[in-house]
Amino acid sequence: MGPLNNSSPLTTHVLNTGDGLPAVRMAISLHRLDPQMTLWNLITVGSTNEDGRCPGLITSDAFTPGTYKMRFETGQYWESLEQGSFYPYVEIVFTITDADQKFHLPLLLSRYSYSTYRGS
């Protein structure tokens, strides 16, 4: 067995708390704020799997201290379920000071609410 998506130091998990299910096939993108703080550089684009996760978000080498943004295309997701939603998308901006640690950023989501936390 070769090295799998050698666990990304940054992971996420999107849960549809309205239906009590993982949010499947939600588009996600990861961005890093450029050092001059003037724009966001796109690092990865992906979508959640059957378990609401998105493996391989970033490699350990690429994961350096800085300010990151995870953008979840929640509006599109609800539209694909033929439902409306209060939020066209969700962006979570966070600061990484120690890139040797692992960071888990879940998103618990319903049509009219969401929450996130730093997990493990």
Partner 1 sequence: MNRLQLIKDHILSRERNASEPLSNGLYARVTSAIHGKNPRHFQNMAMPATQPSPLTTHVLNIAKGVPGANMTISLYRLDPVSSVWNELTTRLTNDDGRCLCLITKETFIAGVYKMHFETEKYWNALGEISFYPFVEVVFTVTDASQKYHVPLLLSRFSYSTYRGS
Given phi > 0 = left and psi -120 to 50 = alpha, else beta, which region is 66? left
95 contributes a contact to partner 1 by CB under 8 A: yes
The 74-93 contact track toward partner 1, x by CB under 8 A, reads -x---------xxxxxxxxx
Per-residue tokens: 120: 């493990």
Task: Locate 115 and state its tokens.
Answer: 């929450």
Contact status: 98 vs partner 1 (CB under 8 A): no
34 lies in the site for partner 1, by CB under 8 A: no
Burial bucket for residue 100 (CB in 10 Å: 0-12, 13-18, 19+):
exposed
3-state secondary structure of 7: coil
Name the minimum Å distance from CB 88 to partner 1. 6
Which of residues 22, 67, 76, 99 is near partner 1 by CB under 8 A? 67
The answer to whether 115 contacts partner 1 (rule: CB under 8 A) is yes
* CA dist., res. 6 & res. 78, Å (int): 31
Least gap, CB of 115 to partner 1 (angstroms): 3
Rg from Cα positions in the chain: 14
Least distance to partner 1, CB of residue 116, Å: 6
Q: Shortest gap between Cβ of 4 and partner 1 (angstroms)? A: 28
Other CB atoms within a 10 A radius of the CB of residue 7 amount to 13
Q: Give residues in contact with partner 1 (CB under 8 A).
A: 67, 75, 85-95, 108, 112-118
